[in-house]
Amino acid sequence: MGEFVRLEVAEGIGTIRLDRPKMNALNRQVQEELREAAIAASAADDVRAVIVYGGERVFAAGADIKEMAGLGYAEMAGRASALTGAFDALARVPKPVVAAINGYALGGGCELALTCDWRVAADDAQLGQPEINLGIIPGAGGTQRLSRLVGPARAKDLIMSGRFVGAAEALQMGLVDKVVSATDVYETARAMVAPYVTGPAQALRAAKLAIDGGLEMDLASGLAWESQLFAALFATDDKVEGMNAFVEKRKPGFTGR
């Protein structure tokens, strides 16, 4: 669909594929194409789960520094919100999303992976937020999503040192969820989300909304949000099918409605 980012759909799984040689640097064009792909994946009825994939060599090695080097405060103040918005579009895809990480996921590439629900990494992958070495901080959600995922102390370690972590350490701290050989990354990601293709799409959407939205609320507000989403699912065909199948002791046939 775009020059550097495309949405490929097969068997109910949409793959948002980055392809900007050599390192999938996330320039402004790539950012906007990612936003468009996220919106398309969200709206497509034939996409029930999503993989974000940079290819066999690299996930994404970060922002295009040459593009940013000449910018001052005034220019970046106008562009920073667009950058955040592009990544937020991926975080808000109302379907299960997994990042399939080969090679480097650094800076904006790590932030891109953080927008996903889960992350599968190659055993030789390297992740990190090295922006501090450029005199800046992460600007596409890294300070916020990383701290929520691994805790503030570990997030400060990674962001303030700028160091890279290997796949084993990333797994230990909860930055990635599975580590496999480099040749198995994409297929492992597909296997992770394949069960959701035939799942109750509205309930899966509600679960993601409840969890992600609740993280931004106090407990009382989060419980009220959960209750609202829970009740709304009683208007779906899948609720009827799921409960009837349970009573009748058979496997449900969900339609996503």
Question: Residues with catalytic annotation?
Answer: 63, 108, 111, 131
At position 156, the amino acid (one-letter code) is: K
Angle between helix 201-214 and helix 219-232 axes, rounded to 10 deg: 170
Rounded-to-integer distance, Cα 48 and Cα 94, Å: 9
Rounded distance between C-alpha atoms, residue 18 and residue 2, angstroms: 10
Per-residue tokens: 146: 């990383």
Q: Which residues contact 256 (CB under 8 A, 6 or more apart)?
A: 45, 48, 200, 201, 202, 238
Which value, in Å, is the radius of gyration of the alpha carbons in the chain?
19
d(CA 28, CA 135): 20
| Contact partners, residue 155, CB within 8 Å, separation at least 6 | 143, 146, 147, 149
